[in-house]
Structure formats: C-alpha cells, structure tokens
C-alpha cells in the first residue's frame, strides 16, 4: 500500500510540474523536445485536441491521486487509483504523438480544472467524496465531448485514433463514477 501511495504522489507531482508523461518507464522525451526543421505542424484541431486531452489527463492524475489517498468511500479510493493508472497511460499515448510533432503540451491543467480541483480538495469526508464524484462526472463528459469533436473534425488519423481509442476507457470511468454517486 505504501508503494501505491508513493506512485500516486510521484505521478501527481510529475503532472503538477508539467512532466506529465515524462516519467520513468514510458521512454518519452520530456516537454520541449526539439522539432526537426522539415517537420510539418499538425492542423489546429489536431493540435488543440492533443493539448486539451493532456490537460484533462493531468487533471485526472492529480485528482485521482488525491481521491485514492483521501477518499472516505472505498469506491472513490478505487476509482481514484484507476484514474491515475489509466490517464497516465492515455497521456503517454498522446505525448508520443504530440511531442515529436512539435505540439507544445501545457504545463498545468486549465484554469477551470485547477479551480474545481482546488475547491474539491478543500473538502473532507463524505463532502469530499461527493464533490469529487461530481467533478469527475464533469471532467469525463468534457473529455468525451472533446474526443467526439476530434473524431468529427480532426484530419490527422493518429490524433483521431487517440480520441477513438480513449473513448471506451473514459466511458467506463464515467459509468463507474455515476455508479459510485449512488453508493457513496
């Protein structure tokens, strides 16, 4: 259990510091890697999706690690730990496309995500659990909407495949969050 706590804490710290997926074991270059001169930038929609999904994954890793450690309801702790693992994997897949193509990945979640995490993090006990579950429902609905937009408007098949491949995991998370809302 102690090693799970260390892993969750390390993931959250890496995400907050903007290291996102540049953690041990993924073999991905750090943020800000050089872009070859002959490289063609990804179209706006594709680049935007990569940046937005990265921020979403960071939010899930950070808030999931908090829930895994501070959740009162066992389902919240379980979902939190699962989010850290799944969104770390999804973020690594996105970074593997973004970084070699010169897409600058944000160093932090967006302002709305940060504010929601701050507000939720100030709560304790059952109040934390319910606030965290409502936040997760919003985060996952927004992620699904961004993925649907990418699948509709995206032009780079690699990026569209990321959105399509992430959808089942995000839908599964949303279902688990909604189920936990009835039991926690």
pLDDT digits (tens, 9 = 90+) for 122-138: 999 999 999 999 999 99
| Residue 32 pLDDT greater than 50, yes or no | no
Indicate if the pLDDT at residue 17 is higher than 80.
no
Looking at residue 162, what is its pLDDT? 98
Q: How far apart are CA 154 and CA 157, in angstroms?
A: 8
User: How much of the chain exceeds pLDDT 90, in percent?
Assistant: 78
CATH code of domain 2-13+40-183: 1.20.1260.10
CA distance 65 to 53: 18
pTM over 0.75, yes/no: yes
pLDDT given at position 49: 98
């Amino acid at each position: 259990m102690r090693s799970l706590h260390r892993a969750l804490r390390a993931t959250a710290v890496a995400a907050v510091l903007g290291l996102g997926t540049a953690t041990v074991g993924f073999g991905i270059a750090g943020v800000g890697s050089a872009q070859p001169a002959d490289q063609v930038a990804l179209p706006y929609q594709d680049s935007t999706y990569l940046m937005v999904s990265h921020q979403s994954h960071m939010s899930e890793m950070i808030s999931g690690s908090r829930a895994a450690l501070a959740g009162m309801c066992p389902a919240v702790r379980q979902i939190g730990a699962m989010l850290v693992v799944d969104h770390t994997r999804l973020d690594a897949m996105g970074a593997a496309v973004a970084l070699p193509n010169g897409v600058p990945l944000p160093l932090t979640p967006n302002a709305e995500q940060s504010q929601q995490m701050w507000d939720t993090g100030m709560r304790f006990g059952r109040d934390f659990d319910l606030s965290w579950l409502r936040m997760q429902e919003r985060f996952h609905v927004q992620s699904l909407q961004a993925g649907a937009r990418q699948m509709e408007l995206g032009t780079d098949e690699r990026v569209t495949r990321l959105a399509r491949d992430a959808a089942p995991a995000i839908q599964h998370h949303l279902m688990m969050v909604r189920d936990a809302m009835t039991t926690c």
